[in-house]
Structure 1
Amino acid sequence: MPYRIASCSCGQLRAEVASQPLRVSVCHCLACQRRTGSVFGAQARFPRQAVTVSGDSTAFARVGDGGSRAVFHFCPRCGATVYYTMDGADDTVAIPVGAFADPGFPAPTFSVYEERMHRWVQMPDGIEHMA
């Protein structure tokens, strides 16, 4: 069973995971661009029971284009998002791929909101596309 640790920049907030990701995806929506400070967000979903969170977090809830709500948990000290939950996906936890600081992390297999993708970004061959 794989074991991974995601953490914020200062290390105070951590998510320990004892599972392979259920899905690794890339989101090009403008909200993810703003949240990450990058041109897209990359995240992995895990079974909730496989994730153990430690440390203090502050939460921010955002309602998406489709009306569903996501609650982002970030470190109150350094501001880095370590995990989030989504309405309708109560059995999963999403963790930004960068929080693992692991260049060997599995590549994304799913890409959404590509109509907002920066024109110079190219997704991996074989990735599933959803507008």
Structure 2
Amino acid sequence: MNNIQYPIKGACQCGGVTYELLEPPLMVIACHCIECQKLSTSAFSITAMVKTDTVIFKGEMKDWSRLADSGNVSAAKFCVTCGNRIYHYDPKDPEKLKLKPTNLSDTRIINPTAHLWVSEKQDWFQIPEGVKTFEYQT
């Protein structure tokens, strides 16, 4: 990511939860599963995989979780006031977070290098050429 200055600040819609991303994400993915379509109210959800110790959060968040099709727990943190989703995480892998990067002040990092669950992708969405795709989650 050229010319991106870290840390990048982020906040939920109401500003009750703020955070700083201290370094670039490990990767950015677009997930097309039905659950991510529900979450994003769009064709897919964007996730920036980051190391837990590279993000500093402030503000009150609430937990939510569900059992994923994979059998893993998909857990999330969101603002208690506006409900804006901040990140997802796997309780079995506490060293990584699945940050929802659309609430960053500099969104240039949002350039997915992989698309997951394309088996559930909306037919009208065209994935750019050269981007890795996976029928399901890897």
- Candidates 42, 55, 66, aligned match of 2:59: 55
Name the aligned partner's letter for residue 94 of structure 2.
D
Cα distance in 2, alignment partners of residues 99 and 52 from structure 1: 14
Stretch deviating more after TM superposition (51-60 or 99-108): 99-108
Name the aligned partner's letter for residue 117 of structure 2.
Y
Matched-pair contact (CA < 8 Å) for 1:27–1:40 = yes
Moved over 6 A (4+): none
The total of aligned residue pairs comes to 131
Q: TM-score, normalised by structure 2?
A: 0.87
Q: CA deviation at 1:103?
A: 4.1
SS in structure 2 at match of 1:24: strand
The C-alpha deviation readout for 1:77-121, integer Å capped at 9, x for no partner, is 111001121244321111112121534224100111101111111
Cα distance in 1, alignment partners of residues 79 and 94 from structure 2: 22
Cα distance in 1, alignment partners of residues 42 and 36 from structure 2: 8
What is residue 84 of structure 1 aligned with on the other side?
Answer: 88
Q: Runs of 5+ in structure 2 lacking a partner?
A: none
Two-structure CA RMSD over aligned residues (Å): 1.5
Cα distance in 2, alignment partners of residues 125 and 22 from structure 1: 21
What is residue 97 of structure 2 aligned with on the other side?
Answer: 93
1:4 equivalent to 2:8? Answer: yes
Q: TM-score, normalised by structure 1?
A: 0.92
What is residue 43 of structure 1 aligned with on the other side?
Answer: 47
Aligned residues with identical type, % of pairs: 24
The C-alpha deviation readout for 1:8-62, integer Å capped at 9, x for no partner, is 1011112211011101000001111111211110010111111111100111112
Cα distance in 2, alignment partners of residues 55 and 66 from structure 1: 31
Cα distance in 2, alignment partners of residues 105 and 77 from structure 1: 27
Cα distance in 2, alignment partners of residues 42 and 26 from structure 1: 5
